Chain A
Amino acid sequence: MAYRGGGGRRHGPSAAFHPVSPGRLFTCRTPTHNICMVSDFFYPNMGGVESHIYQLSQCLIERGHKVIIVTHAYGNRKGIRYLTKGLKVYYLPLKVMYNQSTATTLFHSLPLLRYIFVRERVTIIHSHSSFSAMAHDALFHAKTMGLRTVFTDHSLFGFADVSSVLTNKLLTVSLCDTNHIICVSYTSKENTVLRAALNPEIVSVIPNAVDPTDFTPDPFRRHDSITIVIVSRLVYRKGTDLLSGIIPELCQKYQDLNFIIGGEGPKRIILEEVRERYQLHDSSKIRVRLLGALEHKDVRNVLVQGHIFLNTSLTEAFCMAIVEAASCGLQVVSTRVGGIPEVLPENLIILCEPSVKSLCEGLEKAISQLKSGVLPAPEKIHNIVKTFYTWRNVAERTEKVYNRVAGETVLPMDKRLERLMSHCGPVTGCIFALLAVFNFLFLTFLRWMTPDSLIDVAIDATGPKGAWINQYPYSRKRGRNKTR
């Protein structure tokens, strides 16, 4: 339970009596919020959602809000930890069911979540990712407790197959009484609005961002021969099967073409077989290199080694990877799916259909451009891209959403039940209305068992009365927590 390291040290008395420094007062012009980010996905797990939550929280802390993060325990990492700038993370001991997502019974997480919401005096619950059961649980409990809710959807879904139909129904239930929804691209917004049958007015689009200082080009580290870089998890959704078709075809056509593939996943075996079958890993020159799992800080070092970045995703709401690659000055070739066309301007990306043939054509085009020297210099691409997406901008826009939500009212219990019944269809609506009633009764029981007055108010590490920022300007824990 207990965490180690000097970064986690608390000073009970000093935290309570620390004066607000004058330098930070100007940030308090706008009302500050106590925000709780909930998601199953957070560091040490790696991915887009994880870094989104982390970066957004950091920028919100910078703007004077109090932010805490709630996620489930990762292996030995459980309990409470502090990250850079006093970002407090609760790793709750909940059972992981599938794909790092917790199992949900809709009730078992209520006692702990309620305890945290009360002790941290949270005003806004911000859930992330529709794959995360914990995020939906938190939304459900927060609405029962009368807290304001915001949801960010990071992914796209289909409408046709059975699993999508079921997921969409659940999403409808979960989002029908949520105060505000944030999507990462317009395609994603369209998709979410359709899936969850929402009023488009309560859906905002705030794209993801990258930290351009982390992804700078380094032309000297590029290989001599043309190198294609792929960095993604090797799973079906990321189009690894397409990749196994592209690699042999292009390798036969261009003798000096190399591939570097970073990432880990169940589909890795396919790539290994391709490599062995076509003899692409001779000891003299390795043409297809599989790097395995990458730490986030190593991604840039892999990216700068290549000339072309290939993204084969089959579905993508907002592809951070292509922005990172473009920021490193690579020519991007990608499938034309989901929100990808919105992300980069035409001249920086070559879009193809998600098929082996089309992708090969796209890559050949990129290679010919590269050989003829038409492509702009990496530095130039970087300078264009770095102005596009910044986390400060994202945080500002998210803050506006919070301000708007703070002015809204939360539906009282009867209105909520009515809405559930009217909005989600007769059967599902009734079932979930019943569940909501049960949840309310459970909450009442919990309030009787441990009244709010018995719950110690946590000492703020961040926010207007934050004890952390002035005391610990730099935390030693950052490096450790960003690693896998």
Chain B
Amino acid sequence: MEDELSFSDIYGGRLALQRRYYSPSCREFCLSCPRLSLRSLTAVTCSVWLAAYGLFTLCENSMILSAAIFITLIGLLGYLHFVKIDQETLLIIDSLGIQMTSSYASGKESTTFIEMGKVKDVIINEAIYMQKVIYYLCILLNDPMEPNGISQVVPVFPSAKPRLDCLIEVYRSCQEILAPGKATSTSP
């Protein structure tokens, strides 16, 4: 079973939430951000090159131009490989664990898997982020030393930053798996 919903992130950009229900005990949520737009890429490149050309006319050193090209290329590669995240996936498997994957634009994937034994709960929390106050979904990890304590808070979808309606959607599905009894009582 698979369906796709459309939401927006906190900046108003579009996000597509794909939900895949593999089995009652295994669900996947996939948030895809829009791809790198040609317009912004062109704008940045042009501005860097124009600035370099301006410097070149001032100092008349051709090193600047080649350096600008080099910097643009390196910057683009670095951006695609380390910064731009295209897709974030949350895979939740009952009695096994929660897996978060972020796929970068260059195809690099980084995965974190948290065993179910360590997961205390999945909650929606509020935080001050830049000049905003946002909601975010996070996973609370058990503290091995203290039975009721929380050792760490792991944010989910850290780069997509979806809005509350999307988070509630994911949160409800997560709770259905994590605590089947409770979720049915709170869902409408």
Contacts and interface: CB of A to CB of B under 8 A. Distances in A.
Interface stretch (B4-12, B34-42, B70-78, B106-114): B4-12
A79 B186 contact: no
Contact of A2 (B12, B153, B167, B187): B153
Given A13-B172, A13-B187, A116 B125 contact: no
Contacts of A1: 127-129
B186 A80 contact: no
Closest 8 CB pairs of A and B: A111-B131, A1-B127, A456-B164, A2-B153, A12-B124, A14-B186, A12-B168, A80-B126
11 contacts: A1-B127, A1-B129, A2-B127, A9-B121, A10-B123, A12-B172, A80-B133, A90-B133, A93-B128, A115-B131, A458-B133
B167 A10 contact: no
B11 A454 contact: yes
A80 B131 contact: no
B188 A17 contact: yes
Contacts, number: 77
Contacts of B168: 12-13, 16
A300 interface: no
A458 B168 CA distance: 13
A338 B153 CA distance: 50
B81 interface: no
B134 interface: yes
A6 B149 CA distance: 9
Contacts of A456: 10, 134-135, 163-164
Contacts of A92: 128
A92 B132 CA distance: 10
A274 B146 CA distance: 48
Select the residue from B10, B133, B187 with max chain A CB neighbours within 10 A: B133
Nearest to B154: A2
A78 interface: yes
Given A10-B126, A112-B133, 16 more contacts: A2-B125, A6-B148, A8-B125, A10-B125, A13-B172, A14-B186, A16-B168, A79-B127, A80-B127, A111-B131, A112-B128, A112-B132, A450-B12, A454-B8, A454-B11, A458-B133
A371 interface: no
Select the residue from B125, B129, B149 with max chain A CB neighbours within 10 A: B125
B29 to A, nearest CB: 15
B33 to A, nearest CB: 16
A119 interface: yes
B128 A450 contact: no
A277 interface: no
Interface in B18-63: none
Nearest to A73: B128
Contacts of B164: 12, 456-457
B150 interface: yes
Interface string A6-29: 101111111011000000000000
Interface of A: 1-4, 6, 8-14, 16-17, 78-80, 90, 92-93, 111-112, 115-116, 119, 450-451, 454, 456-458
Interface string B74-115: 000000000000000000000000000000000000000000
A10 B128 contact: no
B131 to A, nearest CB: 4
Interface residues of B, number: 31
A165 B15 CA distance: 55
B160 interface: no
B138 interface: yes
Contacts of B124: 10, 12
Interface of B: 8, 10-12, 121, 123-129, 131-135, 138, 148-150, 153, 163-164, 167-168, 171-172, 186-188
A450 B150 CA distance: 34
B46 to A, nearest CB: 23
Given A12-B168, A80-B127, A458-B126, A450 B132 contact: yes
Contacts of B126: 10, 79-80, 458
Nearest to A4: B150
A438 B21 CA distance: 52
A2 B137 CA distance: 11
Contact of A78 (B11, B128, B135): B128
A88 to B, nearest CB: 9
Given A10-B125, A11-B186, A13-B186, A454 B12 contact: yes
A78 B126 CA distance: 12
Given A12-B124, A79-B127, A450 B133 contact: no
A13 B131 CA distance: 26
Select the residue from A9, A13, A92, A93 with max chain B CB neighbours within 10 A: A13
Contacts of A457: 164
A9 B123 CA distance: 7
Select the residue from A12, A119, A457 with max chain B CB neighbours within 10 A: A12
Contacts of A4: 149-150, 153
A283 B125 CA distance: 54
Contacts of B134: 456
Select the residue from B8, B124, B126, B187 with max chain A CB neighbours within 10 A: B126
